[in-house]
Structure 1
Amino acid sequence: MHADQLLPFIAETFDQMPFNRLLGLKVTRFDEQQAEVRFDWANQLVGNPVQQILHGGVIASVLDVVGGLMAVSSALSRLGDIADAELAEKLGKMSTIDIRTDYLRPGRGQQFIATAQVIRTGNKVCVCRMELHNEQGIHIALGTGTYLVG
């Protein structure tokens, strides 16, 4: 696969992952500078039925997804052309090593936007900073993720 085809292919793959579909995630930006994932409010994502706010596990999961997506971009940006089998093998080895989530405000809103940027990347490990905002720009959570990429 040619390098300019990799990012659209990866974004489409993330959109089709069963867990991401369950959460309603859609990749809306994916390049070498930033990854962005959006999802809409849904009753099945509620963690506190009295307050009607997102479940903390949903927030952490979304931050992990967008951080992992950014880490994949970072790793693949150093590749040239790659065979499909080699790409599948490389992607199969990438995983989350550690993630920290800081909950800043209750998860209220109609749409949520998660973004990620690379803090530092190397041959084996990538560290990303992730944020979750609602459609009004209210900062709900932030995270730091460490990902195995090599």
Structure 2
Amino acid sequence: MPTSPLLDQISRLMNEQIPFHRLIGLEVKRFASDISEVQFHWQADLIGNVPQGILHGGVTATALDMCGGLVAIAGVVETLPDDTSPDEVIQRISRCGTIDLRVDYVRPGRGKTFITTAHTIRSGNKVAVARMEMHNEDNMLIAFGTGTYMVG
């Protein structure tokens, strides 16, 4: 999987600097414009349905959104000229954000590890669209979604 020092740096930032991502335990495993992957492990604090012991839907949506945003950001970063300063990169990606997010919950969120992947559907100068899926460690589909992201 090709990567760049800049994408590695942004990945570390997402893993270490965003408090809510740390709280949930989200970890960037793959970060590129063709596919990104985010993973997290089951924690009792993430329960949304106590009697059934299943993952909170907001955690699922957050993981899908983060992963979709990553693939959109990677598309932006990969199109920047090589001589773009780090400050310019930060300024550019700080303008990225979610415009719309649709989540379809397919099965209850059960498992030990949750793996979320995102693929780019469209990447333009202003807007990117991603398709995301969340599976558990047994490759059971938990949820999928589509995200639209402002990138310019």
TM-score greater than 0.5 by the shorter chain: yes
* Counterpart residue identity of residue 33, structure 2: E
Matched with 2:138 is 136
Matched with 1:47 is 48
Matched with 1:19 is 20
Unmatched 5+ stretches in structure 2: none
Runs of 4+ in 1 over 6 A off after TM superposition: none
Distance, in Å, in 1 between the alignment partners of 2:145 and 2:10 is 22
The residue matched to 2:37 in structure 1 has which SS?
A: strand
List aligned pairs for 1:88-103, cutoff 5 A: 88-103=90-105
How much identity, in percent, do the aligned residues show?
49
* Counterpart residue identity of residue 29, structure 2: T
* Counterpart residue identity of residue 14, structure 2: F
Distance, in Å, in 2 between the alignment partners of 1:12 and 1:111 is 20
For each residue in 1:106-131, what CA deviation from the matched residue of structure 2 results, as whole angstroms up to 9, or x when unmatched?
00000000000000010000000000
* Counterpart residue identity of residue 13, structure 2: T
Distance, in Å, in 2 between the alignment partners of 1:74 and 1:86 is 15
* Counterpart residue identity of residue 120, structure 1: R
Distance, in Å, in 2 between the alignment partners of 1:110 and 1:68 is 24
Q: CA deviation at 1:88?
A: 1.5
Normalising by structure 2, what TM-score? 0.94
Distance, in Å, in 2 between the alignment partners of 1:4 and 1:53 is 37
Name the stretch that deviates more: 100-109 or 68-77: 68-77
Matched with 1:86 is 88
List aligned pairs for 1:47-126, cutoff 5 A: 47-81=48-82, 82-126=84-128
Q: Is the 2:37–2:67 contact (alpha carbons within 8 Å) kept by the matching residues of 1?
A: yes
The residue matched to 2:148 in structure 1 has which SS?
A: strand
Distance, in Å, in 1 between the alignment partners of 2:33 and 2:100 is 22
For each residue in 1:27-80, what CA deviation from the matched residue of structure 2 results, as whole angstroms up to 9, or x when unmatched?
111123210011000000000010000001110011000000110011111112
Q: Could you say what the CA RMSD is over the residues aligned between the two structures, in angstroms?
A: 1.1
Normalising by structure 1, what TM-score? 0.96
Q: Is the 2:77–2:89 contact (alpha carbons within 8 Å) kept by the matching residues of 1?
A: no
The residue matched to 1:128 in structure 2 has which SS?
A: strand
